[in-house]
Amino acid sequence: MEDRILKMITKDSLDKIKNTRILLIGLGGVGGYAFEALVRSCFCDITVIDGDIIEESNLNRQILATTESIGNQKVLEAVERAKIINPSCQVEPIFLFLQESDITEKFLASYDYIIDACDTVSIKVMLIRMCTKLSKKLISCTGTANKVSPQLLEVVSLGNTTGDPLARVLRNILKKERKCLKTMVVSSKEVPLKQKELGTLCPVPMAAGSLLVSYILNDIL
């Protein structure tokens, strides 16, 4: 598994990747592909948090969702997927819908990077505030629904996002907290389709999940 990776990076860099502790919050469309990229990139210490089970409606975009996994916990499906891709990868599953009160200094202390792939605005805000306060490395995704162009995704600071309604909400909440606006996010410049119900096409969350992990890889390297 490491052979192709070592054609791109040094053994020392690979060891850094293996020893990096990752906290991934959310295993949906974006988070599932982020998890896939982490496992296949030889990250070997991953904690995943999600309180959801797999539903039939997830099949169009979530890599952990199959007809056989419907009804199963997403975090447990992640553990099993890691085993069949990279048995050296240790995944700690936490079956939990994260609450603001869970996001404490003690909770975040042992992780080198936090990936926010959740959908809840209040949790995103709390993660940004706490990680900024603690100087923790956080990368957050600001939304992929109702979008069709993965090529318009970018890694950018929250304060420099454009065209993304969720990013706008976060900016407005945090506008007086300048340090928080420096948080790096995966965001799309694409103006989303205007419709009442949210829809998703697989290539957009797939690309967003890959960009989350790409940011971490490049930061380590």
76-117 pLDDT, tens digit each = 999 999 999 999 999 999 999 999 999 999 999 999 999 999
Could you tell me if 198 and 146 are in contact, meaning their C-beta atoms sit under 8 angstroms apart?
yes
Q: Could you give all domains of the chain from N- to C-terminal order, each with its CATH number?
A: 3-220 (3.40.50.720)
Q: What pLDDT score was predicted for residue 141?
A: 98
As given in the structure block, the two tokens for residue 144 are 């992929």
What is the distance between the alpha carbons of residues 86 and 100, in angstroms, rounded to a whole number? Answer: 33
| Predicted local confidence at residue 137, as pLDDT | 98
Nearest alpha-carbon partner for 120 in 94, 104, 141: 141
pLDDT recorded at residue 131: 98
pLDDT reported for residue 204: 98
What pLDDT was estimated at residue 99? 96
What local confidence, expressed as pLDDT, does residue 196 receive?
86
Q: Could you tell me the mean pLDDT of each successive run of 10 residues in the chain, 221 residues long?
A: 95 98 98 98 98 98 98 98 97 97 96 97 98 98 95 98 96 97 98 92 98 98 95
Q: What is the pLDDT of residues 142-164, one digit of tens each?
A: 989 999 999 999 999 999 999 99
CA gap 48, 95 in Å, rounded: 8
Q: What is the reported pLDDT for 208?
A: 98
Residue 192 in tokens: 């989303």
Predicted pLDDT at 81: 98
Rounded to two decimals, the pTM is: 0.97
Residue with tokens 């030889």: 42
